[in-house]
């Protein structure tokens, strides 16, 4: 069975790359604020009269893992949707693809900047989304050149 030339498929794979990059960024940003995060959470739990013990640290690591998984899923789904839009637009130029991805990256980067209060993390998100373009183009062209045409017996 031959895999069809499908921009959505290339978009999923490129989205996985973005998902991994943004997951790495969220892990780095959360570990940079680990002490204050754990300290605040510990204070809130102590206000309820409960001894937090080591469960606060376990909660932090679960939170980091969940955030990384969420970022991967966002990259995966958004990457697929970009591939679908690219196909729907009847495979426009790479400039259109850059515009679409840059728009997504800017929105994602602005949200990350507000959330982390770090312009550097926000710029990292935009750059991670811009990595989508060369990966998508490479995969999409690779699918196009790997496509095999079959000859049926009736054509022989």
Q: pLDDT tens string for the chain (156 positions)?
A: 445 568 889 999 999 999 999 999 999 999 988 888 888 888 888 888 877 777 888 889 999 999 999 999 999 999 999 999 999 998 889 999 999 999 999 999 999 999 888 999 999 999 999 999 999 999 988 755 555 444 444 554
User: Helix, strand or coil for residue 4?
Assistant: coil
DSSP letter assigned to residue 10: H
- pLDDT of res. 153: 45
Q: Other C-beta atoms within 10 Å of 23: how many?
A: 22
Q: How far apart are CA 13 and CA 15, in angstroms?
A: 5
Q: Which of 21, 2, 5, 1 is nearest to 139 (CA)?
A: 5
Kindly state the tokens that stand for 73: 């899923």
Q: Find the helix or strand (DSSP H, E) in which 25 lies.
A: helix 7-32
- pLDDT of res. 146: 58
- Are 27 and 82 in contact, with CB atoms under 8 Å apart? no
Kindly state the tokens that stand for 154: 């009736």
- Are 48 and 22 in contact, with CB atoms under 8 Å apart? no
In terms of pTM, does the model score above 0.75? Answer: yes
Q: Which of 4, 16, 8 is nearest to 149 (CA)?
A: 4
Q: Find the helix or strand (DSSP H, E) in which 74 lies.
A: helix 55-88
- pLDDT of res. 14: 96
Kindly state the tokens that stand for 63: 């939170």
- pLDDT of res. 151: 43
- pLDDT of res. 1: 41
Tell me phi and psi for residue 91, to 5 degrees.
45, 70
């Amino acid at each position: 069975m031959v895999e069809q030339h499908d921009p959505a498929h290339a978009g999923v794979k490129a989205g996985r790359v973005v998902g991994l990059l943004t997951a790495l960024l969220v892990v780095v940003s959360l570990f940079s604020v680990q002490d204050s995060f754990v300290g605040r959470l510990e204070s809130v739990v102590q206000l309820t009269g409960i001894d937090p013990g080591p469960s606060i640290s376990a909660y932090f690591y679960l939170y980091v893992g969940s955030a990384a998984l969420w970022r991967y899923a966002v990259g995966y789904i958004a990457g697929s949707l970009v591939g679908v839009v690219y196909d729907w637009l009847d495979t426009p130029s790479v400039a259109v693809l850059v515009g679409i991805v840059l728009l997504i990256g800017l929105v994602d980067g602005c949200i990350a900047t507000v959330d982390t209060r770090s312009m550097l993390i926000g710029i990292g998100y935009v750059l991670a989304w811009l990595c989508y373009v060369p990966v998508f183009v490479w995969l999409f062209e690779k699918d196009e050149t790997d496509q095999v045409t079959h000859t049926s017996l009736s054509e022989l």
